[in-house]
């Protein structure tokens, strides 16, 4: 596809000039966004002299802001002439041959990611471990495996650029939000492995502690909200159960427990359903469709919990409360995945 190269840059070095020199022979249209770099940085004046399109603003806002700024310019001025954008980092970690691979792989409805191989011995140990953990957590929470969640080399067709500028985040967390958004919306993402380039002296502006916290806050936001809504509904369930025990006490001990459990669960689950629909999953499903599927899941969980606790307690000489805790935690995680994939469809 005929794509524009978009490069966000903050205080870049001569590596950016080297990259542009090598890309020149491939005749790409290139946009560089100066993300509020220091005035002493001479690279941008050289780029202007070389007739590159340089977009600028005075203050540093972050990589996500710079990417969205460049995409907005593209949509306003170039969309009708090109098929999409390839985002590229300014520190020459993305080689021209790999940028070309993205350009030839992108289609009108598929986003292409250039992913590094973190199994290589040349990859610094902290980078290797950090990326593997993040990839594993992403797969667990969102059901989609992405080898390199922080790759800056991404091919985005015109079809998805309007959505891309609406995604939250101004700094490195934008790239994680980008992946979560398009995975949640079932957009086709394709990975292509690229050469893994690391330099002894890194020019990356990624702050290992602060930016990692931002990224994990985004990564875990949905699951944390799910936990909070579950705790709220559990609190209501327990409160109503206690109240209904008093109300139904006239029916005797056994029946009052059964009735209290049933009615408390019905009401608490209705609250949980609405909290989850409004604050956790961005769903477009019809409420009636969600309602019946949710209650089928709810009573399946109740039945599975009781049955598993009964069976395991007969097989293993453990405390029943401990068994129930382990069983219910396991069911909680399964429930999260089922609700995300089958009930609250985006």
- Condensed to tens digits (0 to 9), the pLDDT of residues 26-44 reads 788 999 999 988 888 888 8
Q: In 3-state terms, what secondary structure has residue 26?
A: coil
Co-location of 123 and 147 in the same domain:
yes
When divided into structural domains, the chain yields a total of 2
* pLDDT greater than 80 at residue 220: no
Same domain, 170 and 300: no
Domain extent, residue 279, equals 222-343
In the predicted structure, residue 209 carries a pLDDT above the cut 80: no
Please check whether residues 237 and 93 belong to one and the same domain: no
- CB proximity list for 340: less than 8 A, separation 6 or greater: 142, 143, 281
Q: Is the pLDDT of residue 204 over 80?
A: no
pTM for this predicted structure = 0.70
Answer yes or no: is pLDDT of 299 > 80: yes
Is the pLDDT higher at 31 or at 306?
A: 31
For the cut 70, the answer to whether the pLDDT of residue 22 exceeds it is yes
Question: What number of CA atoms fall less than 13 Å from residue 239's CA on the CB side?
Answer: 8
Residues 8-29 have a mean pLDDT of 86
**Residue 289 is encoded by which pair of tokens?**
């469709």
Asked if 91 and 158 sit in the same domain, the reply is: yes
Higher pLDDT, 319 or 165: 165
What's the pLDDT at 133?
83
Q: Are residues 49 and 162 in the same domain?
A: yes
Q: Are residues 28 and 50 in the same domain?
A: yes
Domain stops at, among 219, 253, 269: 219
164 plus 92 within the same structural domain: yes
Write the pLDDT tens digit of every residue in 61-110.
999 999 999 999 999 999 999 999 999 998 888 899 999 999 999 998 99
How many whole angstroms separate alpha carbon 297 and alpha carbon 269?
10
Phi first, then psi: give them for residue 228, nearest 5 degrees: -65, -45
Contact, 6 vs 67, CB < 8 A?
A: yes
pLDDT given for residue 203 in this prediction: 53
161, 191, 219: which is the final residue of a domain? 219
pLDDT surpassing 60 at residue 202: no
Say yes or no: 24 and 113 in one domain: yes
Task: Looking at the structure, tell me whether residues 80 and 101 fall in a common domain.
Answer: yes
Residues 209 and 230 in one domain: no
Question: Of 147, 152, 25, whose CA–CA distance to 97 is shortest?
Answer: 25
Residues 81 and 39 in one domain: yes
């Amino acid at each position: 596809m005929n794509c524009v190269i978009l490069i966000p840059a903050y205080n870049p070095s001569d590596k950016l000039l080297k990259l542009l020199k090598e890309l020149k022979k491939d005749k790409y249209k290139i946009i560089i966004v100066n993300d509020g770099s220091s005035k002493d940085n001479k690279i941008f004046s050289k780029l202007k002299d070389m007739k590159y399109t340089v977009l600028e603003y005075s203050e540093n806002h972050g990589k996500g802001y710079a990417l969205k700024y460049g995409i907005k310019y593209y949509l306003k001025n170039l969309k009708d002439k090109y098929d999409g954008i390839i985002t590229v980092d300014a520190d020459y970690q993305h080689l021209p041959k790999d940028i070309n691979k993205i350009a030839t792989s992108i289609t009108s409805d598929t986003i292409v990611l250039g992913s590094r191989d973190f199994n290589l011995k040349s990859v610094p140990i902290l980078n290797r471990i950090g990326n593997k953990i993040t990839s594993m957590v992403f797969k667990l929470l969102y059901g989609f495996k992405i080898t390199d969640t922080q790759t800056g080399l991404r091919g985005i067709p015109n079809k998805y650029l309007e959505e891309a500028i609406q995604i939250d985040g101004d700094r490195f967390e934008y790239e994680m939000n980008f992946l979560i958004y398009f995975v949640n919306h079932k957009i086709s993402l394709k990975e292509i492995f690229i050469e893994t380039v690391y330099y002894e002296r890194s020019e990356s502006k990624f702050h290992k502690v602060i930016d990692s916290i931002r990224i994990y806050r985004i990564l875990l936001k949905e699951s944390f909200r799910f936990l909070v809504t579950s705790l709220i509904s559990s609190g209501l369930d327990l409160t109503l159960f206690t109240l209904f025990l008093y109300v139904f006490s006239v029916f005797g001990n056994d029946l009052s427990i059964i009735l209290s459990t049933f009615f408390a669960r019905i009401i608490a689950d209705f609250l949980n359903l609405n909290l989850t629909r409004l604050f956790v999953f961005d769903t477009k499903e019809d409420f009636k469709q969600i309602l019946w599927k949710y209650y089928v899941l709810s009573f399946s969980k109740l039945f599975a919990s009781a049955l598993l606790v009964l069976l395991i307690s007969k097989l293993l000489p453990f405390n029943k409360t401990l068994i129930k805790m382990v069983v219910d935690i396991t069911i909680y995680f399964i429930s999260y995945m089922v609700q995300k994939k089958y009930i609250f469809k985006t």
